[in-house]
Structure formats: C-alpha cells, structure tokens
Amino acid sequence: MKTIRRREFIKTAAAAMPVAAVGGPLFAAEKTAKRPNIVFIFADQMRAQAMGCMGNRQVITPRLDKLANEGLLVTNAISCAPVCSPYRAQLMTGRYPHSTGVIHNDIRLPDNEIVISEVMKNQGYRTGYIGKWHLAGYREDPVDAKSRRGWDFWAGRNCSHEHSKPEYWLNDAGQPVRVPGWEPDVQTDLAVEFIKENKQTPFCLFLSFGPSHNPYKAPGKYVEMYKDGTLKNRPNVPNDKTDNLRQYYAMITSLDSCMGRVCDALDDAGISEDTIVVFTSDHGDMIGSQGQPHRRKQRPWEESIHIPFIVRYPRRIKKGQARDWIVSSVDVMPTLLGLCGFSIPSQVEGMDYSSTFFGKSTRERNAAFLFNINRGNSGPGTDWRGIRTKEWTYAYHSSGDWVLYNLEKDPYQLDNLVDDLKFAGKKKELHQQLEGLRKELGESMPLKGGMPVPIQLPD
C-alpha cells in the first residue's frame, strides 16, 4: 500500500474527478430556472442532542449552530432503522429496509433499486461520493464499480472505523492510498477540491464521515477544548463516567470544524446561494443511557433514533427556522429531489418535504415508523418495531410490549409507562397505529429473539 502526503493526494484526486455523463434512460432532464447544487454531509453515530443549536451547552459546535441560524433546523428528525447499512439504503433509495431487503448491516443494496446518484446524473449533474459506503454486502475493500452505483467521483472505503489511518480507493484504482492525518480532515480536503473543480456546473456531493462512531478517540487539539469543563451525562445514564462523552464531543467538534471549511469553500466559489447544504447522521449513540448493556444504536430510545438535521438553501428556504416536523430517514432522498424540482421515482416510499421546507405547504408526518432486525451481538437481542410521534414513543419486541414514553413530560425517558394501567388506553392506541403503519407499508416480517436486557437508570 502506498502512503502519500495530503497535498499530493488531493492533487491526484483532483485529476481523477471526471465530467459526468448527461442524459440517460431513467429520466429526461427537467428544466428549472436555477438548478441548485447539493452538498449532503452526514456523520456516523451522532445523536441529535450533541449540538449547541439543539440546546446542549456542553458540546462545542459553532459552525453547525451558524448553519442552523442560516437555514432550517428540524428538531424531530428520526432514523427509522437506527443502524448503518439500513439507513444508507434508505438514503440512496427513499425506501424502507423491508422493501430493499437491506434489513441489517452488510447486506448489498440490490442492483434494481433506483438511487439518487443515478437520478442526479440523468439530470446532468456531476456526482461525487467521499467516505464510508457500507452497502456493498461485505466489509472489505475495494467496492466494485457496480456496487458503487454510478458516482462519477469516488474516494472512500466500504466500512472501516480507523479514523486516524485513512485509506482511500480513488475511482477504479486497484490499490488503496494511505494518507496520514485525521480522516475527516482528509475527506474535507477532497470535498473542498470537488467544489472548486465543479463550481461551474450543477453537482451533487455526498460526504460520509466516519466519526463520531466508536472507537471514541479524537485528535488532541479537540480534546483539549474540553479540558477545563466538567461534563455531565444525560440524566438517564446510571453512572458518572464521562471519558467516552468527552472524546465523543471532541470528535463532533472536529466535524463541526470540517463543516465550516465546506461552507467557506462554497462561499469562496460564489455558489452558496444556490447550494442545498444538509447536515445529518445515520443514527445516534446511547453512550450509557438506559444502562451500559444498551450500547450505541438499534434501540428505540431518543439517543439512538433522534438525529441532527439542518438544511440550508439561501435562495429558497427562509433562514433562522426551527421546526418540530417529524422527518424520517426514508424522506431524505425524495426531499432532496423535490428541493431541486425533479420528479420522484414511483417506487419511492418516503415523503417529499420540499414544499413544506419552502413554506408552501403545511404537510408533515404525524409519526415515524421504527424498525430493527437484531443480528448476532450487534443489537438488543431481539427484533422490535416502534412508532415515534411528537409526544410519544412506543415499541414492542418479539415477546411483547417493551417501552412507552411521554416525550413532552419525560424527555429523558426515565419513566417507562408500558405496564402502567393508567396508560393502557394510550398504549393500545399507539399499538394499533403502529400496526396500521406496518400494514400500509407492507411490512410483516416475523419478530425473533428473546427478552432484551433490563433498563438501568440512576438511583
């Protein structure tokens, strides 16, 4: 494996950024007055509660907070299947996991699914994907050209969490290049170069960061930013250990810095006004909430399913908004197409929020469907289904009811009402609503597994 310096790598990558093909069999190009660019940036395992603009006074996220002030902050964005591959399949297709078959990690996205890169290419856009993919059906690299689904520029890996030892496969290169440095910094270098190279033509760029996924280990300069503060865990963490939290926040601050660099590059290129910028994450991270056995993701609690979502489009979306709309992960692909004024493929199951974001409609979801298939030791030990409204979360597993929370009165989910007879009517109502959603979506997979480990809360 060849190791090269960042400057040399960026120069090599710039030369590998080809011109996209225009036109194709799927969609005819649709005329719009001004076709916006898309810069879609998403973290791995970053929960919504880890941003200043979401009310967290401990984490340092000035550029994300600025982005929220310049655009729209969605405060109820939900990862409906809170684990990596299922989220990414939804992001590419706008379809639920049971529909694509990507129901857990390491399942290949089927070739017959229409993905956003294909739609954008057929609208004459140049496309680029940088970072983690995890849709090739395996964890090894490289990802073959067919599995990459037609991105014009490709610089990434299928699945790796060695954030300080980044390796990249550029387009069809048979061997990776190792580039010393913190992975998000190198990926941001690539994103900035892509923006410079393509500022004269509409483009769609996806940037998939590896952090804040464990291992929790951030560069020292970001950890130093938290040395003088005393961090406090969320009230639903049954211990006072904050080592992981400090590293987790430091990783997020590093992503915040990268986000600022991307926005600055758009300003320098003179294209910010006509660029749709989105920042979000594939799912959250429990980091001790509800007890250490409930680690990381694949749980129905807020730390797992509730994700950041900021969208900025200066020409068309009013700035400074914070809205409590429920935007599910399955809605992202159709909404991006809608923001560009493009037709939505007929098989897409998500909701196009573009008219709502533009202020031309009041249409919104009343609930998000929650879905998880347990796989080995990576989940809670059981399959489960759930529903998340603005006020309530309800979920059941293979052996029966699991959790019921009133989010307005109990935002930290300290009081599980699932066995409280006073709320039996509400539980029945939510169960029926959830079953109605499953029937509407055609999801009838049998639930398997055993009882999940008990919830642990502070004394």
Taking 3-state DSSP, the helix, strand and coil percentages for the chain, each rounded to the nearest 5, stand at 30, 20, 50
Q: Are residues 160 and 97 in the same domain?
A: yes
Does pLDDT of 153 surpass 50? Answer: yes
- Residue 452 pLDDT: 92
Q: Are residues 379 and 315 in the same domain?
A: no
Q: Point out the domain boundary residue: 366, 399, 422.
A: 366
Place of tokens 């998340």: 388
Does pLDDT of 424 surpass 90? Answer: yes
Angle at 401 between CA 397 and CA 407, to 5 degrees: 105
Across the range 213-228, mean pLDDT stands at 95
Q: Does residue 32 lie within any of the structural domains?
A: yes
Give the strand pairing for 392-397 and 384-388: antiparallel
- Residue 104 pLDDT: 95
Q: Residue length, the chain?
A: 459
Q: Are residues 419 and 296 in the same domain?
A: no
- Residue 9 pLDDT: 85
Q: Are residues 86 and 204 in the same domain?
A: yes
Q: Are residues 145 and 290 in the same domain?
A: yes
Q: Does residue 96 lie within any of the structural domains?
A: yes
Per-position DSSP letters for 233-247, written without gaps between them:
--TT-SS---HHHHH
Question: How far apart are alpha carbons 161 and 458 in whole angstroms?
Answer: 31
Q: Are residues 329 and 409 in the same domain?
A: no
Q: Does residue 113 lie within any of the structural domains?
A: yes
Q: Identify the weakest region by mean pLDDT among 266-280, 345-359, 365-379.
A: 365-379
* Residues 44-65 pLDDT 10s: 999 999 999 999 999 999 999 9
Question: How far apart are alpha carbons 396 and 404 in whole angstroms?
Answer: 9
Q: Does residue 448 lie within any of the structural domains?
A: no
- Residue 1 pLDDT: 74
Q: What domain range is 376 assigned to?
A: 371-441
Q: Are residues 144 and 159 in the same domain?
A: yes
- Residue 18 pLDDT: 65
Does pLDDT of 24 surpass 70? Answer: no
Q: Are residues 153 and 217 in the same domain?
A: yes
Q: Are residues 21 and 90 in the same domain?
A: yes
- Residue 22 pLDDT: 43
Q: What is the mean pLDDT of the chain?
A: 93
For the chain, give the percent of residues with pLDDT over 90.
81
- Residue 15 pLDDT: 86
Q: Identify the weakest region by mean pLDDT among 6-20, 120-134, 320-334, 385-399.
A: 6-20
- Residue 377 pLDDT: 67
Across the range 422-426, mean pLDDT stands at 98
Q: Are residues 334 and 429 in the same domain?
A: no
Across the range 427-452, mean pLDDT stands at 96
Of the candidates 350, 368, 199, the residue with the CA atom closest to the CA atom of residue 275: 199
Q: Give the domain CATH number at 386.
A: 3.30.1120
70: buried, middle or exposed (CB in 10 Å: 19+, 13-18, 0-12)? middle
Q: Does residue 456 lie within any of the structural domains?
A: no
Q: Does residue 454 lie within any of the structural domains?
A: no
Q: Does residue 27 lie within any of the structural domains?
A: yes
Q: Give the residue numbers marked as catalytic.
A: 84, 134
Q: Based on the structure, what is the number of domains in the chain? A: 2
Spacing of C-alpha 458 from chain mean position: 30
- Residue 26 pLDDT: 44
Q: Are residues 128 and 149 in the same domain?
A: yes
Q: Are residues 322 and 230 in the same domain?
A: yes
Q: Identify the weakest region by mean pLDDT among 75-89, 226-240, 244-258.
A: 226-240
Q: Does residue 458 lie within any of the structural domains?
A: no
Q: Identify the weakest region by mean pLDDT among 67-71, 169-173, 432-436, 452-456.
A: 169-173
Instruction: Output the six-digit token pair for 80.
Output: 């409906």
Q: Give the domain CATH number at 22.
A: 3.40.720.10
Across the range 271-295, mean pLDDT stands at 96
- Residue 376 pLDDT: 72
